[in-house]
Amino acid sequence: MAFAASNPVMPTALKILIAGGFGVGKTTMVGSVSEVPPLETEERMTVASVGLDSLAGIENKSATTVAMDFGRITIAPELVLYLFGTPGQHRFWFMWDDLALGALGAVVLADTRRLEQCFASVDYFEKRGTPFAVGINCFHGKREWTTEQVRKALDLGPDTPVMLCDARDRESSKKVLLALLDVARAHALARTASIPGV
Amino acid sequence: MPDRQWSDAEGVGHHVRPYAITGGRTRHSEHSFALITLVVTRSPDGFGGESVEPEAAAILDICRDRAVAIAEIAAELDLPVSVVKVLCGDLLNSELILVQAPPKESDAPSVELIERVMDGIRRL
């Protein structure tokens, strides 16, 4: 068997998900921190029956393929982080388990003009116990809602960061990612503390 | 061999050829890969006399200089992820590549690992 578990040149790959509704800026956020322009790939779905949502006219295509955008950050020669923009619609839920498997956590990008579009992502990550942070993308320059209003509307606990961001701006995207990783770190600390005898 | 090319009349188009590359297989019978499973070509030059299909040869080329994720290979070759997984399964059986699976779900990330990622992001 050619698996390279002990090969020193093989890095470890990790991932963070960037979730949220259609057109909320997921690819933009990936691109703002990635060392390569966002790449796109698609996976063919073999599930025949999927839920339809309001995006009329694209059912034929999206019922058979799901497109994903992603980028890469080389943290160290032996540690590579991938950022995946997730397909946000209901109909793609069946593939999220593969996408979410082993993720350090997720950023849920929200657009206050269409806040309901991120409900599904928030639900999913809460149920799965995946660490996440909510970024309110203010790319349209309007801050009609406060972070506290969004927190209330999404029914989020005090431990989930909610912050304003500009997905085009690297420093702004870094802040959201670091807020998410703070949550992931707290989860990891809690796990360590709960192991008896450690 | 099941002929899946014609099983989905509406979904044909550019999907016909990718699955023709895999002989109609949509998944590998022995190996499973994640989107971020990393692939490295074992032999830095040539295929050791073995003949491989053009798409497989392209994968060996892409993964020669660094470890490349399955998703990256798929993007680079403009092939569906599942096709790349099948091709990589064959290359693994032929011992032409090394692969590194990502940490398992049960291997929850350590505080130290998360802090290393945080440091890396701060440095961007």
Backbone angles phi, psi at A111, to 5 degrees: -120, 120
CB contact under 8 A, A5 and B100: yes
Backbone angles phi, psi at A68, to 5 degrees: -130, 135
Q: Residues 6 or more apart from A78 whose CB is under 8 A from it?
A: A8, A10, A11, A12
Percent of chain A clearing pLDDT 90 (strictly above): 54
Local confidence band at A194 (pLDDT 50, 70, 90 cut-offs): confident
pLDDT at A64 over 80: no
Residue A1 domain-assigned (yes or no) = no
Residues facing residue A39 across a β-bridge: A70
Q: Where are the alpha helices (DSSP H) in A137-196?
A: 147-153, 170-194
Of the candidates B22, B42, B36, the residue with the CA atom closest to the CA atom of residue B89: B22
In chain B, residues 74-93 whose CB comes closer than 8 Å to chain A: 74-76, 80-82, 92
pLDDT at B25 over 90: no
Residue A146 domain-assigned (yes or no) = yes
In chain B, residues 56-75 whose CB comes closer than 8 Å to chain A: 67, 69, 71-72, 74-75
Average pLDDT estimate for B71-93 = 95
CB contact under 8 A, B118 and A185: yes
**Residue to substitute from B8, B22, B35, B119, interface A, most A β-carbons within 10 A:** B35
The pLDDT assigned to A73 comes to: 98
Q: Residues 6 or more apart from A97 whose CB is under 8 A from it?
A: none
Residue A64 domain-assigned (yes or no) = yes
The pLDDT tens digits of the residues spanning A184-193 come to 999 999 988 8
Report the distance separating Cα A15 and Cα A19, nearest Å. 13
pTM (2 d.p.): 0.84
Closest partner residue to B124 among A4, A65, A73, by Cβ?
A: A73
Residue A3 domain-assigned (yes or no) = no
Question: For the purposes of burial, counting CB atoms within 10 Å of the CB of B110, is it exposed (0-12), middle (13-18) or buried (19 or more)?
Answer: middle
> What interface predicted TM-score (ipTM) does this complex get?
0.84
| Number of separate domains in chain A | 1
The pLDDT assigned to A92 comes to: 63
Residue A6 domain-assigned (yes or no) = no
**Alpha-carbon distance values, A127 to A94, A131, B108 (Å):** 15, 11, 17
Of the candidates A105, A58, A50, A113, the residue with the CA atom closest to the CA atom of residue A83: A105
The pLDDT tens digits of the residues spanning B98-115 come to 999 998 877 889 999 999
Local confidence band at A57 (pLDDT 50, 70, 90 cut-offs): very low
The pLDDT tens digits of the residues spanning A87-112 come to 766 556 666 677 777 899 999 999 98
CATH classification of the domain holding A133: 3.40.50.300
